[in-house]
Structure 1
Amino acid sequence: MTIGTTIHSFSTCPSTNDLAKRLAREGSAEGTVVIADEQTEGRGTKGRSWHSPRGQGLYASVILRPRRADLSLLPLMAGVACLEAIREATGLEVALEWPNDIVWKHRKLGGILCEGEFLGNAVSFAVLGVGLNIGQKREDFPAALRRTATSLRLALGREVDRAALEKSLWPVLNRWYAAWVRGRKDEIVRTYESKLVIPAGAVVEVRKAGGTLRGVYRGLDLRARLKIEVDEEQMILSPAEILAIDYNYGAS
């Protein structure tokens, strides 16, 4: 299997993840990529929308057919691959924000959306979606996003060739996916942690449905869960439990 051997390109679509899921159900091979110039109903995690204007970003989804049911490290693996591809294609060093975001100077540059479909306890397929802001100027973002979003063009002060970024992304993503398939969980997690904007020992506030916790960030476990020390006791929190994290509280 090689990611990017088969690529389905569209000028516009509602969602590349939805198209990839349809193709996966119809039997498309692992490694098949769906990419679009525009998404009219692009989405991120927790049902949030993803602004996907025509010709301004990379909006792509990859069909995967993993044999293990635990997909928790796939977003981390994809984040590491995206950072490596961005650096290779543009020279820009960017960072990761747990669990799904790619950031530059604390502004959102991209995101990862992993969705799986199961038959009983076995995974039928997974779809790994990647959205990267490439060509936007500040005024191209909706007013609500201008203080929190950025693009490669804004970060670099020049235009970026999407084709060059794609050329870097598929082989890098293929290599990191192979590491995941081979069970190299520790390598994926440690590499991901080294690129996180949250420094080790930072004091964080974690907002959950039931209230807010304040504690010390102690890293990630091998299922991509956050380890927080609260009153000298360690808590393990999954992405599904957390609404927001604020880590601008110095270090402990």
Structure 2
Amino acid sequence: MPVGTIVHRLESVSSTNDAARALALDGAAHGTAVVAGEQTRGRGTKGRTWHSPPGLGLYASFILRASGGGPVPFLHLLPLAAGLAASDAILAAAGIEVRLKWPNDLVHGGKKLGGILSESVTGAAGGDFAVVGVGVNVGHGLMDFPADLRSSATSLRLAGGGAATNESLFAGLCRALDCWYNALTRGAKKPVVRAFEERLAFPPGASIRVVTAAGTFMGTCRGLDAEGRLVVERAGAGGTVVLESVLGLDGA
């Protein structure tokens, strides 16, 4: 069943990912989507809060399953596939090209436009599944953001894509996510990784500042490896490291 065939539309919800997870545990089919007008406790990665005021953004989550009820393929690449899908949908709906800050941020003009939150459950009675949440700032004016986000966040409206609507963006996102996820289910992880690398906010050769649990260091982006991990050449004689996750990533 194509992604977005079944859609649960909610005026308000604590978190679309939480709502989708509950539906999946109750047996909801692959491709089922939850979209809300607002999130009262929207979540980002690393336990961060996602600012989700009513009527101003796209807040959507999708249940993804493998055909036959087996393990969801390439879980570690789902944030990349979802980022590509969101990028495609934004270009189609708003005419704006966004860059992808590895592994799960959508950026435009150096500011955060949206983000991805991917979570998975294995061993559930109804079979394994993943929930992929996508949040995009659509209609925000500058003063609609909290004071501490005004210098780092943007929206389609602020970026000049004011003609885009939540509905047109959601429709395009469903189509694009279906396409990129199907590529993964066919085992085509290389096209996903290479496409994401081509849209990196900090492309190969860029100087970056990396924050990890072990500390902060400066380096040069060397792209992504075959598994979609970030490859960084540390400044000085630090050698090359391959990262599966980061706490922060910025241009140097």
TM-score when normalising by structure 1: 0.92
- Please give the secondary structure, in 1, of the residue aligned with 2:122: strand
Distance 1:216 1:208 in 2: 15
Q: CA deviation at 1:52?
A: 0.3
More moved, 91-100 vs 153-162? 153-162
Unaligned runs of 5+ in 2: none
Q: CA deviation at 1:69?
A: 5.6
**One-letter code aligned to 1:234:** T
1:19 to 1:157, Cα distance in 2 relative to 1, 3 A:
closer
Aligned residues: 244
Q: CA deviation at 1:91?
A: 1.1
Residue 171 of structure 1 corresponds to which residue in structure 2? 175
The runs of at least 4 consecutive aligned structure 1 residues that moved more than 6 Å come to none
Distance 2:238 2:187 in 1: 31
**Is this contact kept in 2: 1:135–1:159, CA < 8 A?**
no
User: How high is the sequence identity, in percent, across the aligned residues?
Assistant: 49
Unaligned runs of 5+ in 1: none
- Please give the secondary structure, in 2, of the residue aligned with 1:216: strand
Distance 2:147 2:187 in 1: 43
Matching of residues 43-58 of structure 1 within 5 Å: 43-58=43-58
- Please give the secondary structure, in 2, of the residue aligned with 1:110: strand
Distance 2:165 2:211 in 1: 38
Give the RMSD, CA atoms, in angstroms. 1.6
Residue 238 of structure 1 corresponds to which residue in structure 2? 244
Deviations 1:156-193 (A, max 9, x none): 16353211112211111111110011111110011001
Distance 1:210 1:237 in 2: 12
Q: CA deviation at 1:205?
A: 2.3
Q: CA deviation at 1:155?
A: 0.6
Distance 2:161 2:86 in 1: 20
Q: CA deviation at 1:204?
A: 2.1
Residue 146 of structure 2 corresponds to which residue in structure 1? 142
Distance 1:130 1:57 in 2: 10
**Is this contact kept in 1: 2:138–2:166, CA < 8 A?**
yes
Q: CA deviation at 1:134?
A: 0.4
- Please give the secondary structure, in 1, of the residue aligned with 2:175: helix
TM-score when normalising by structure 2: 0.92
Task: State yes or no: 1:152 paired with 2:156.
Answer: yes
